[in-house]
């Protein structure tokens, strides 16, 4: 086991991890951050998306031991049920959540996009979310939600 200090949602946490343990597993099982979802566990679906140094990353493909000194943001660091982030609020208002399993990853991918591009076009939104699969197939409303959030942030 290796001791590693992780910076998650602005808090420093020291955890003991196996050298082969993924960030996804450590977030969920050691830090209790179960908002990060397990889908395929092999880098295909995007449900495990977190931000590492502000960029979307599939946490099922990232070794926790390699995250020392990196800033990790999970959905718990974005907003809460009582105080949703503007992107989360837009998802609610646009009806972009069905079963909700893909939603944390979608929201984080959208957050990363909007930090970089204030008023993305629809093709840019689709491109940014293209690595995130929604089994409920609610893509149109998800794109609408990201557009709504961007219009509110940069009218």
Residues lying near ligand FES in the complex (CB under 6 A) are found at 38-41, 43-48, 58, 60, 97-103, 134-136, 138
Distance of alpha carbon 109 from alpha carbon 129, whole angstroms: 6
Nearest residue (CB) to ligand FES, 35 versus 46: 46
Minimum distance of ligand FES from residue 155's CB (angstroms): 28
What are the structure tokens assigned to 28, written together? 């969920």
Backbone angles phi, psi at 12, to 5 degrees: -95, 130
Distance of alpha carbon 89 from alpha carbon 77, whole angstroms: 15
What are the structure tokens assigned to 13, written together? 């946490």
Minimum distance of ligand FES from residue 133's CB (angstroms): 7
What SS3 state is found at 28? Answer: helix
Nearest residue (CB) to ligand FES, 30 versus 153: 30
Contact 112, 51 (CB under 8 A): yes
Minimum distance of ligand FES from residue 142's CB (angstroms): 8
Minimum distance of ligand FES from residue 25's CB (angstroms): 11
Nearest residue (CB) to ligand FES, 58 versus 147: 58
Q: Which residues contact 28 (CB under 8 A, 6 or more apart)?
A: 34, 36, 38
Nearest residue (CB) to ligand FES, 24 versus 114: 24
């Amino acid at each position: 086991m290796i001791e590693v200090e992780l910076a998650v949602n602005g808090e420093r946490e020291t955890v003991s991890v196996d050298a082969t343990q993924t960030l996804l597993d450590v977030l969920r099982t050691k830090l209790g951050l179960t908002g990060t979802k397990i889908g395929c566990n092999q880098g295909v679906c995007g449900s495990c998306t977190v931000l590492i140094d502000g960029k979307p990353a599939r946490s099922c493909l990232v070794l926790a031991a390699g995250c020392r000194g990196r800033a990790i943001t999970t959905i718990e660091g974005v907003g809460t049920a009582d105080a949703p982030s503007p992107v989360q609020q837009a998802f609610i208002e646009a009806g972009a959540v069905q079963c909700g399993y893909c939603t944390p990853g979608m929201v984080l991918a959208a957050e990363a996009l909007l930090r970089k591009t204030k008023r993305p076009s629809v093709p840019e939104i689709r491109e940014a979310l293209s690595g995130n699969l929604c089994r409920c197939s609610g893509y149109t409303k998800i794109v609408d939600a990201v557009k709504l959030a961007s219009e509110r942030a940069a009218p």
